[in-house]
Amino acid sequence: MASAHDIMQRMREVQAAREKAFEPLAEILGQRAELQRQLEALDAPYAEAFAAAEAAGWTAEELKGIGAEEPAKRPSRRQRSKRAAAKKAATETTSADSSTDSPAAAVPTQNGAAGLETAAAGSTTG
Amino acid at site 46: Y
Q: What is the pTM of this model?
A: 0.46
Q: pLDDT band at 124, cuts 50/70/90?
A: low
pLDDT (tens digit per residue) in 73-93: 877 766 555 666 666 666 666
Task: Report CA Rg, the chain.
Answer: 36
Q: CA-CA distance, 106 to 103, in Å (whole number)?
A: 5
C-alpha distances in angstroms, 5 versus 2, 15, 18, 19, 64?
8, 15, 20, 21, 65
Q: pLDDT band at 22, cuts 50/70/90?
A: very high
C-alpha distances in angstroms, 60 versus 72, 87, 93?
13, 38, 43
pLDDT (tens digit per residue) in 30-78: 999 999 999 999 999 999 999 999 999 999 999 999 999 999 887 776 6
Q: Is the pLDDT of residue 122 over 90?
A: no
